[in-house]
Amino acid sequence: MAGHTENEIVIDAPMDLVWEMTNDIESWTRLFSEYSEATILERRDETVVFRLALHPDENGKVWSWVSARTPDAATRTVRSQRVETGPFKYMWIFWEYSQTERGVRMRWVQDFEMKPQAPIGDEAMRERLDRNTPVQMLLIKDKVEAVARDSAAVG
């Protein structure tokens, strides 16, 4: 059995700002609360290969992995997959941005499967992602909207 999650949020900010801030991987340690490291390893055409690391867990372990991320500004979509999969057999993430009357709808679709020896199974990981993803999305919304407000006040 594989895992699948879909989460979305509407960000009241201009599309270009949402796109720029959420695709600036080097700033992810400030945009997300869970990352202690976001390091670009390589750029290949539009694809960015990067390392992410979480803050230490309750046992002091730091989980990290390498992903490849390919944004498509024309379609306002991003495809990402883990290159170093860690406990996952695979992990694919699709980001989709669409303009609505209330702002930019940012949607994340995560498809994955845990390795048999992983500390948790597919369903437990799905539950974990469905708990954490909305928290991270709300942080992103708040931070992007704050920049949009500051830009409007200055402009």
The pLDDT value recorded for residue 151 is 87
The pLDDT value recorded for residue 94 is 98
Classify 62 as helix, strand or coil.
coil
Strand (E) or helix (H) holding 107:
strand 103-114
Q: State the chain's mean pLDDT as an integer.
A: 96
The pLDDT value recorded for residue 93 is 98
- The tens digit of pLDDT for each residue in 100-137 reads 999 999 999 999 999 999 999 999 999 999 999 999 99
Average of per-residue pLDDT across 4-10: 98
The pLDDT value recorded for residue 154 is 74
The owner of tokens 């390795």 is 115
The pLDDT value recorded for residue 40 is 98
The pLDDT value recorded for residue 153 is 83
The percent of residues above 70 in pLDDT, for the chain, comes to 99
Tell me the pLDDT band of 155, cut-offs 50, 70 and 90.
low
CATH class assigned to 3-154 = alpha beta
Asked if residue 5 lies in contact with residue 130, where contact means CB atoms within 8 angstroms, the answer is yes
Domain boundaries, the chain: 3-154
Name residues whose C-beta falls within 8 Å of residue 100's C-beta, 6 or more positions apart in sequence. Answer: 10
- The tens digit of pLDDT for each residue in 68-99 reads 999 999 999 999 999 999 899 999 999 999 99
Strand ordering across the sheet containing 103-114: 3-11, 103-114, 88-100, 77-82, 64-72, 47-54, 35-44
Q: How many CB atoms lie within 10 A of CB 141?
A: 19
pTM for this entry: 0.93
Average of per-residue pLDDT across 41-51: 97
Average of per-residue pLDDT across 34-49: 96
Does residue 1 register a pLDDT over 70?
A: no
